[in-house]
Amino acid sequence: MKTIQKIIYGGFAACALASASMPAFSYTVWPDVDFEWYANVGKPVAGTYYYEVTPAPRAGYIWAPGHYEWTGSRQVWMPGVWVKDDYDRQWKAYASRGHATYATGPLELRDRDGNVIPTNPEAYPIDSARR
């Protein structure tokens, strides 16, 4: 038998052995995926579910309901709390160059050099090079 025929037959034999061993290789414990764990992510552990009754409204406060929070190693239940409603003050305050500014009129946008940026469409005509 010629050398090239021996190489070809050897290749066929290697392919036959590899194809016969594939079912054995495909039945392994890897990857060991716990699909039930993935399906239950975010759900509380059985028996640890908390139920909170929402209290009656309280003037000047907002109720933040209880929820689970991740602490880095596990989820813990954080009970609901009353939060002071300071919305009227907060919506007027916004950060502007490191200090709090309170809005007293319409919003005025400025670039980094302090120049006013016009916000109305008439400031940018269609045929303008500024567009």
Residue 94: inside a domain: yes
Number of domains in the chain: 1
Q: Would the pTM of this model clear 0.75, i.e. be above it? A: no
Residue 131: inside a domain: no
Tokens 């061993």, residue located:
21
Which range marks the domain in which residue 37 is found?
A: 3-123
Residue 129: inside a domain: no
pLDDT per residue of the chain (131 residues) written in tens, 0 to 9: 788 888 988 888 888 777 776 665 556 556 667 777 777 777 766 666 777 888 999 999 999 998 888 888 888 888 999 999 887 777 666 555 556 666 666 777 888 888 888 888 788 777 766 55
Residue 61: inside a domain: yes
Residue 7: inside a domain: yes
| Amino acid 13: pLDDT | 84
Residue 26: inside a domain: yes
| Amino acid 104: pLDDT | 66
Phi, psi dihedrals of residue 113, rounded to the nearest 5°:
-95, 0
| Amino acid 48: pLDDT | 66
Closest residue by Cα to residue 82 from 101, 98, 66, 62: 62
